[in-house]
Amino acid sequence: MKQKQLPSRSVRIKLFSRMSFYARSNDVFWLLFFGLLLLFMLLWGAAIGSYQLSILKSWQIIIAPELAPEKLVRVVWEFRLPRLLVAALCGAALAIAGVILQSITRNALASPGLIGVEAGASATMLVFVVIVPGVIPVFLLPVFAMIGGFIVASCVWLLSSLRGYSPIRLVLVGVGITSMLSAFSEMLITYGDIDLVESALMWLGGSLHQASWPQVKVMMFWLLIAGSLAWLCFRQLNLLILGNKVAFSRGVDNRKAVPFLLLLCVALTSASVATAGTLTFVGLIAPHIARRFCANRHGALIPLSAVIGACLVVLGDSLGRSVFAPLQLPAGLVLVLIGAPYFIVLISRLRKA
């Protein structure tokens, strides 16, 4: 992939007294740029809605809540902030999962939803909401959804690696199982009580409507653990993308590395799905956007995708919340609308280049 060759001096970053590593100043610049963009979007998201605030005002309310009127504090802190933070965290998690999956399968069209996690989590959630409502208390539903996602992903993995690992097979088997689970979900949606179904559709479209502070904490926990583990594997990912043989010659055994990375991918995806429903496109688009800035250097690609993914979901949620207010559109669906055309243009340009 051609890219403008900017003068890339390496910058030495010191962490603690002994550890330091080298990073391209290019990458650091873009990371900071998108980080600031994310901050700005969070403030913008906190500002728009039925209570219109200026960005400055929302900044003041976040920094110094004691000084602001109670009404506005409530609006920003109880309604908007948890939602924005969950959006950002889920976006980051899904973006990292997308990077991992695209690199493991060496396929630019792979997204975390393909391995069946999302379909598994959705199906589990639907079963417990529509078929046997009330059996599971509401706060445990995300846990069950996660378990469902894990089970489905492991089935896909087992099926596709019966005769040796093949990235193509993994993805295609995932597509098949996802179709089956989608049919199952659709069956539940069509025959369920229309009341329960409408709320299922909202959830399936990636809805952050029920976001709350406990969810922020849970998501942050998953993102920090699985996300940092993924980041630490950046060297393995750099090599895996060059092919099995090359990676093996440099000491990366793909039979051990791939399942582990896949596990991280599944953990991140199912945590995000259990919290916010399906947000498929983030895992597909965010890595592509990030790659335009830092190619396949995973040391920078992972954090950059995370930040871009966070921006995208925050954008999608804020737009979904405000465009047709007070009618709420789920973030996942808005994302598909804005992301897909861009993605199609991007991919077709890539192929021509």
78 near other proteins, rule: CB under 8 A: yes
Site for other proteins in 332-351 (CB under 8 A): 332-334, 336-337, 340, 343-344, 347-348, 351
Binder among 280, 309, 310, 315 for other proteins (CB under 8 A)? 280
Q: Which of residues 11-50 bind other proteins (CB under 8 A)?
A: 49-50
**In the structure encoding, which two tokens stand for residue 232, read together?**
């630490």
* Segment 299 to 328, residues that bind other proteins, using CB under 8 A: 321, 324-328
Query: Distance between CA atoms of 342 and 350, rounded to whole angstroms?
Result: 12
**Residue 71 and residue 183: Cα distance in Å, rounded?**
45
Tokens 């998501």 belong to 219
Three-class SS state of 12 = strand
Distance CA 40, CA 334 (A): 20
Instruction: Please compute Rg for the chain using Cα positions.
Output: 21
Question: CA-CA distance, 326 to 316, in Å (whole number)?
Answer: 16
Q: Is 246 in the site for other proteins (CB under 8 A)?
A: no
Residues of this chain, 164-183, that bind other proteins according to CB under 8 A: 166, 168-169, 171-173, 175-180, 182-183
Site track 113-152 with other proteins (rule: CB under 8 A), x = hit: xx-----------------------x--------------
Site of tokens 């099995």:
244
Residue 40 or residue 51: which is nearer to other proteins going by CB?
A: 51
Binding mask 200-229 toward other proteins (x if CB under 8 A, else -) reads: -xx-xx-x-xx-x-----------------
| Total site size for other proteins, rule CB under 8 A | 76
The answer to whether 191 contacts other proteins (rule: CB under 8 A) is: yes
DSSP H/E element including 60: helix 55-63
Instruction: Check: CB of residue 87 under 8 Å from CB of residue 276.
Output: yes
Q: Least CB distance from residue 152 to other proteins, whole Å?
A: 13
